[in-house]
Structure 1
Amino acid sequence: MSHHHHHDDHCGHEAHAHDHDEPGGHKDNLYVRIDRPNVVALNADKEGPEVIKPWDKRLDEEVFIESDADDQLILRVPFTGSVKLRAVLLKTGPADQTPSKVLLFANENNLDFSDAADKKPTQEFAVAQGREVGEYSVMPAKFSNLTSITLFFPASQGADTTRIYYVGFLGSWSERKENPVITVYEAQANLADHEKVRGTEGNFSAPQS
């Protein structure tokens, strides 16, 4: 496994060279964009942030959260900005403690178990058993302006409890405010609007109104 050295964080200058061959690697891993102190787990033996781990800890099995009263579990994950999600990463189990599926809800900040049972998820996936991290590619259009995501695990694959070791997210992130790029675009857009209004005045009297 010696060729995996470059995953270490200290060689950030190398990251751009490996964009394409590190599907779950640093470039689009949203770990640093998760508002970890405000991650909440419902019906769990811990708070929730424990399973939001850095990429290099994704296979760690010492720290996990487990469902409490039954095998249902909800994890609410807020982001520090606006996220365009590409995939959800999960390490669960072992064996029949693996959830049967995961239901994803975009921007549902206060979802609880009664809501989750009634509401249609934004997307859902069957979860396979295994010791590796599973990557679940979402429909980007449905998760393109994400400020939080809620993961609902409705049942285990037979055990009394569901266990989650690692939850990660791949995608791109943008700040919600004070982003100079947005300011530039706005200035250009306004300019174009003014020109259009002047140039078309009297020609087309806005038929769509």
Structure 2
Amino acid sequence: MCSHGHSHNCASEHIPEGSGDDVHRYDMVSYIDLDKVTTLNESIDGAGKKVFKVMENRDDRTEFVESDCDHELLFNIPFTGHVRITGLSIIGDEDGSHPAKIRLFKDREAMAFDDCSIEADQEIDLKQDPRGLVDYPLKASKFGNIHHLSILVSANFGEDETKVYYIGLRGEFQHEFRQRVAIATYESRAQLKDHKNEIPDSVTRSLF
């Protein structure tokens, strides 16, 4: 087994099963900076980023990531701006290689396994879900405004290696809206000197 140097002793919260097939939309893949996604302990370099597919392709079994020397996988997921993540879906196989527990960390770039000994922002017990029908809601207080998400698969259902076909994230992209607000605020507070050439001389003399 790999020596990752951290403990697996952590209490996970139980999430009830839901029907995520049509109710929830996992559309945040378009806001993931896929070129910068890294997956630690993947058996094939670059395979981890391929599980972040558009929702319509989540049943595609040709692309997946499998862990290398033990059951753990660590996904580092940067976004192209600030986002609010409200839930996720994970698809694995129908055997013991399906992820059983995940730990989530926000805004900790380039996490390594040694860093995962800290308290997670959320821990989730997963169900075996080869069709992606279970939705796992995330804590609004923790993931309401983030730019990076790390997902540690800390346990599976008994196999030596873990296999993941799909990770879907649902939520909202926030950065663009906030940028427009900032620009509008700046313009509303524009200094007179910024528009001096646009103001008639008579008005300028009366102001000074």
TM-score by length of 2: 0.73
C-alpha distance in 1 between matches for 2:24 and 2:178: 29
Amino acid at match of 1:141: S
C-alpha distance in 1 between matches for 2:122 and 2:37: 20
Q: Is the 8 A contact 1:68 1:161 kept in 2?
A: yes
Q: Which has the higher helix share?
A: 1
Which ranges in structure 1 are unaligned for 5 or more consecutive residues? 1-20, 192-209
Corresponding position of 2:41: 43
> What's the CA shift string for 1:131-172, capped at 9, x where partnerless?
121321001120111111000011221101011110111001
C-alpha distance in 1 between matches for 2:126 and 2:186: 43
Amino acid at match of 1:57: N
Alignment of 1:80-91 (within 5 A): 80-91=80-91
Which ranges in structure 2 are unaligned for 5 or more consecutive residues? 1-20, 191-208
Change (3 A) 1:120 1:178: closer
Q: Is the 8 A contact 2:90 2:129 kept in 1?
A: no
Report runs of 4+ in structure 1 exceeding 6 Å deviation.
Answer: none
Corresponding position of 2:114: 114
C-alpha distance in 2 between matches for 1:182 and 1:172: 19
Q: Root-mean-square deviation (CA), in Å?
A: 2.2
Change (3 A) 1:161 1:79: same
Alignment of 1:96-115 (within 5 A): 96-115=96-115
Shift of 1:94: 2.8
C-alpha distance in 2 between matches for 1:94 and 1:107: 32
- Count the aligned residue pairs: 167
Change (3 A) 1:22 1:184: farther
Amino acid at match of 1:40: T
| Secondary structure of residue in 1 paired with 2:61 | coil
Corresponding position of 2:27: 29
Shift of 1:186: 5.5
